[in-house]
Amino acid sequence: MTGLFHFANLVRAGIRDNQLLWMLVAGFALFPLFTHFADLPFWNDVAMRIMLLGVAAMGLNLVLGYGGMVSFGHAAFIGIGAYCVGISQFFGLSNGLFHILLSIGVCGALGLVIGYLALRTTGIYFIMITLAFAQMLFFLFVSLEQFGGDDGMSIDRADFLIIDLYEPLRLYFLIWVALALVALLLMFIVRSRFGVTLRAIKSNEPRIEAMGLVPLHFKITSYVISSPDIMHWTRSGEIMIIIILGGLGTLAGPLLGAIVFLLLEEFLPLALGAVAPAYAENWMILFGPLLIMVVLFGRGGLIGLLDKAGFARIGKRKMAVK
Amino acid sequence: MMPDPVLELRGLNKSFGALTATSNLSLTVMPGEIHALIGPNGAGKTTLIQQIYGALKPDSGQVFLNGRDLTGLSVPERVRAGIGRSFQISNVLMDFTVLENGMIAEAARRGQSFRFLRPAFSDSNLIKGASAILDRVGLLDRAHLPVGDLAHGDRRMLELALALAASPSLLLLDEPMAGAGPDEGQRMTEIIEALRGTVAILLIEHDMDAVFRLADRLTVLVEGSVIAAGTVAEISQNQAVKSAYLGDED
């Protein structure tokens, strides 16, 4: 009861960005309990996909939301990570910990190279260059016949230390741990000296140079941090939509966006099927305008809407103006 | 014996196509002095500041700060070498509070901007350093205001505070009174006056009352060349300056 009372007070005062993030993360920890008792195991899969996209979106949000750099190439990093696992399995290496370290290392190194080259440009040129790199990598891997080529590569669930990942809930909680770690890491980074300087660069680059700092160093670093996170640019676009839907430059936004995005993907076809069965396949007709409406009226995505409705408080800006 | 100059420009040249913005320009700024750079619009004052600051590369010539050749260095390298600057249009971090602006500058001054874990805005050392920075320009009582809520004059003050944060040996001030009301201009003049002797200042300013009150020495620029240099008394008697520049106001 007191917990509930506390929660009600929290809502009245306005939930803060980081509080909302941890509520969502905690929600994912408890979710399997719900699916178990409600006998809806299928929804565990949906939750896993939400968490995975959420992690990717949180990574990209560091670059896009906090750093103000529109990178269209981020899907490439997820793809590289996946191929790191696939190719090492192809050569008989099945240790999950090794896969993780290899993926982080390769993605970080690629992020450094791509970031170093692409970040010399800004605006539309930056978007085009990151897109070009992503497409280059996409076609490179598609052309590798021995690794599946056009059909893609299927990955076995690796042996992760002593955890058998064929046990569905274990995979679920491994993903959850990754989500919680990324959330924790981002929360620290965003508030750190590095994080506030990155936000300041987005706000006013010449002023940061006038403080004797080199903006490029911060941008590349954020790019490398965010990259160790499916290869085609439409996937990058999807992650970007998730961030904008949830709330650009907020901690909880990307995860909230991933939840709503994937739930809409699940429910819209069902809802449309119930009303007009013939059009169930064309659910995107509703999906598109819905996203546009949130972005237009939300101005700051779903978090922005919550903020307007008085349920959330983003940062301390609101408190500062008394 | 004369002390060594803080800033020394040797034979700077810069042209944009057929337009000569800086022509064989040499100039020194001595320790602790306020050196005003005046001249009609288009004389190449801001272009010169940009070359000292490193945002523009001179076609030829050299820039020395405390005897060190800065000519090939980038903007951040020159800032770390000791150049602070305020811009013609005020240039502060709009999405942050006044105190946060100071804290980001303080973190940069301490070389701590690449730290990833501890929260920056609750760090007591940064708060202390930032408060000292803000106190110098009288903004401490507005420390928690978002910069967007500051009056124009206060933003200029904040910008000056940020330029001073790194304890530069040379301060470049590009029209600090621009757009300020009479009271704000007066306040800015007093604060610059109070800096005299602590930091060498190269000042561009159109407000002649402020220039005559502040400047220890004046350099008059016309079409990219120095036509006169000296104390306020010397310059105000100079016939060439009167006809080329001050005469315009009659």
CATH of the domain at B7: 3.40.50.300
A194–chain B Cβ distance below 8 A for any pair: yes
Query: Of B142, B167, B192, which closes a domain?
Result: B167
Q: Measured between CB atoms, does B84 come within 8 Å of chain A? A: yes
User: Are B65 and B163 in the same domain?
Assistant: no
Q: Are residues B77 and B101 in the same domain?
A: no
Shared domain for B172 and B72, answered yes or no, is: yes
| Lowest model confidence (mean pLDDT) among A91-105, A177-191, B120-134 | A91-105
Of B167, B195, B211, the last residue of a domain is: B167
Could you tell me the pTM of the whole model?
A: 0.77
Task: Read off the pLDDT of residues B129-177 as tens digits, 9 standing for 90 and up.
Answer: 999 999 988 899 999 999 989 988 899 999 999 999 888 999 999 998 8
Q: Domain check: are B197 and B218 in the same one?
A: yes
Q: What is the DSSP letter of A159?
A: B
Contacts of B97 in chain A (CB under 8 A): 320
Q: Which helix (H) or strand (E) holds B249?
A: none
Determine the residue of chain A that is closest to B118 in CA distance.
A192
Residue A176: pLDDT over 80: yes
Distance CA A263, CA A266 (A): 5
- Answer yes or no: do A192 and B92 touch at CB < 8 A: no
Residues B162 and B172 in one domain: no
Instruction: Read off the pLDDT of residues A277-310 as tens digits, 9 standing for 90 and up.
Output: 777 677 777 777 877 777 666 667 888 877 777 7
DSSP letter for each residue of A21-80: HHHHHHHHHHHHHHHHHTT-THHHHHHHHHHHHHHHHHHHHIIIIIT----TTHHHHHHH
Of B93, B113, B149, the CB nearest to A321: B149
d(CA B57, nearest CA chain A) in Å: 16
What chain B residue is nearest to A200 in terms of C-alpha separation? B93
**Interface-testing mutation among B53, B74, B93, B150, with chain A (most A C-beta atoms within 10 A):** B93
Flag whether residue B108 sits within 8 Å of chain A, measured between CB atoms: yes
Last residue of a domain, one of B167, B185, B204: B167
pLDDT at A77: 67
Tell me: do B32 and B132 sit in the same domain.
no
State how many domains chain B has: 2
pLDDT of A322 strictly over 50: no
Residue B36 is assigned to a structural domain of this protein = yes
The residues near A152 (Cβ < 8 Å, ≥ 6 apart) are: none
Given phi > 0 = left and psi -120 to 50 = alpha, else beta, which region is B55?
A: alpha
Contacts across the A-B interface (CB distance below 8 Å):
103
| Within-domain flag for B87 | no
Q: Which residues of chain B are modeled with pLDDT < 70? A: 1, 244-250
Domain count for chain A: 1
Cβ pair A191:B162 closer than 8 A = no
Judge: B118–A192 Cβ closer than 8 Å, yes or no.
yes
**Residue range A236-242: mean pLDDT, rounded:** 74
Q: Which of A210, A320, A321 sits opposite B79 (nearest CB)?
A: A210
Same domain for B78 and B107, yes or no, is no
Other Cβ atoms closer than 10 A to A304: 21
CA distance A110 to B137: 46
- Residue of chain A minimizing CA distance to B99: A320
| Model pLDDT, residue B66 | 93
B237 and B115 fall within a common domain: no
Please tell me if residue A1 touches chain B, with a CB cutoff of 8 Å.
Answer: no
Q: Is the CB of residue B165 less than 8 Å away from at least one CB of chain A?
A: yes
User: Could you list the residue range(s) of the whole structural domain that residue B150 is in?
Assistant: 93-167
Are the beta carbons of B116 and A191 separated by less than 8 Å?
no
Measured between CA atoms, the residue of chain B closest to residue A205 is B93
**Domain range spanning residue A170?**
2-320
Instruction: Pick the closest to residue B29 from B235, B243, B203 (CA basis).
Output: B203
